[in-house]
Amino acid sequence: MIHFMGTPKIETQRLILRQLVFKDTQKIFDNWLSDERVSDNRVSPAHKKVSETEERLERIIAEYESKEHCYWGIELKADGELIGEIDLYDFERTTDNCEVSYSIGYKWWNQGYGSEELKAVVDFGFHYMNIHKISAAHNTDNPASGRIMVKAGMVQEGIVRHMIRNAKNQYKDCAIYGILQEDYIRFNDTAKIQVIET
């Protein structure tokens, strides 16, 4: 059974994963949601107006009241810059499985932040929440995201053709990855992150 804890603060070597707040709106808009290089790998289009980001953030923040809402902003310890987001979602009660998704601002690509934050959330999901399996998917034309998943211990399980249709009305094939709690725990018997309960 999944042990829901909401969205506690998580610290890694270089990152703080924390709840988003209203004052983050401009950074979220500037750093990733308005950038088409990032939105090309998302289902939703790049935001054209800050008001779109405000509306989206209002929905996310309202959900923090629920212990089943796991949605983090990714902040650099070095300078406090907000560089992305990551969430666990689609919790399946009959299997105790869920999915994970993430976005990192273009300026911070290829610096290891994606794998660091995904490893942290996978660790949290298995050691603290007792999730059975965590799955993720990426567009096949974005292999860098697959490398992040592999670094977090995930294995590719297949490819689903035309799994999504993006904002440009293009169908995209997606590679599906997953990791089981039993496999993760076998190599990581103790938690590797610091969780600060909110």
Rounded CA separation 20/12 (Å): 17
Q: Assess whether pLDDT exceeds 80 at residue 147.
A: yes
3-state secondary structure of 5: coil
pLDDT band at 21 (very low <50, low <70, confident <90, very high): very high
Note the pLDDT of residue 169.
83
Note the pLDDT of residue 43.
75
Query: What percent of the chain clears pLDDT 90, i.e. is strictly above it?
Result: 82
Give me the mean pLDDT over the 87-94 stretch.
Answer: 96
pLDDT top residue among 17 and 186: 17
HSE, CB side, 13 Å, CA atoms: give it for residue 22.
4
pLDDT top residue among 194 and 68: 68
Rounded CA separation 123/125 (Å): 5
Neighbouring residues of 65: CB distance < 8 A, sequence distance ≥ 6: none
pLDDT top residue among 34 and 44: 34
Rounded CA separation 97/181 (Å): 10
**Are the CB atoms for 38 and 103 separated by under 8 Å?**
yes
Rounded CA separation 118/148 (Å): 8
Cite the DSSP H helix spans in 74-176: 113-127, 143-151
Rounded CA separation 82/35 (Å): 15
Convert the pLDDT of each residue in 91-140 to its tens digit. Answer: 999 999 999 999 999 999 999 999 999 999 999 999 999 999 999 999 99
Q: How far is CA 30 from CA 41, 79, 198, in A?
A: 17, 16, 27
pLDDT band at 198 (very low <50, low <70, confident <90, very high): low
Domain architecture of the chain: domains with CATH? 9-196 (3.40.630.30)
**Are the CB atoms for 149 and 138 separated by under 8 Å?**
yes
Note the pLDDT of residue 127.
94
Give me the mean pLDDT over the 26-40 stretch.
Answer: 93
What single-letter amino acid sits at 26? Q
Rounded CA separation 72/57 (Å): 12
pLDDT band at 79 (very low <50, low <70, confident <90, very high): very high
Instruction: Tell me the average pLDDT of the chain.
Output: 94
Q: Write the DSSP symbol of residue 182.
A: H
